[in-house]
Amino acid sequence: MAGMDINEIMEYLPHRYPFLLIDRVTEIVPGESITAIKNVSINEEFFKGHFPGHPVMPGVLIIEALAQAAAVLSFKTENVKPDGHRVTYFVGIDKARFRSPVFPGDQLLLQAKLLRHTYRVWKFAVEATVNGQVAAEAELMCTEKMLEA
């Protein structure tokens, strides 16, 4: 399936600057996988303190970018858009490994593959790479919760 630009991504994610961590979806196959891009810029707020003189993207934000890609995949798989009545939460992060640092100017290629979906629980294998080199990988589990009106 074709990709998504930032405007369509924002239809599927509630995140906004400075916490929207996906710039483009290059490929998505509902029920299977997604490939997205995060362009890492020196203008990111977190680089002010992580680390002065040696800016490195925090690993937890790489995992968050991967989770956002996985969330888009889950919504596209269900063929629904967030409506303000449900929220997605992490319920598990397993096998997380950080293989190489990510620096300003890098382009993160974010990939998520759906491993399992039962009721409102989703499990994904995720991987972030820069120029073909693995920066981070993990298995993520998320669940949807309905918000009270």
Token pair, residue 37, equals 């891009």
| CB distance 97 to 137 below 8 Å | yes
User: Following DSSP, what letter does each residue of 76-141 receive, concatenated?
Assistant: HHHT----SSEEEEEEEEEEEEE-S---TT-EEEEEEEEEEEETTEEEEEEEEEETTEEEEEEEEE
Q: For tokens 């290059």, name the residue.
A: 26
| Residues with a known catalytic role | 50
Q: Is the N-terminal amide bond of 104 cis, ω within 30° of 0?
A: no
Task: Let me know how long the chain is.
Answer: 149
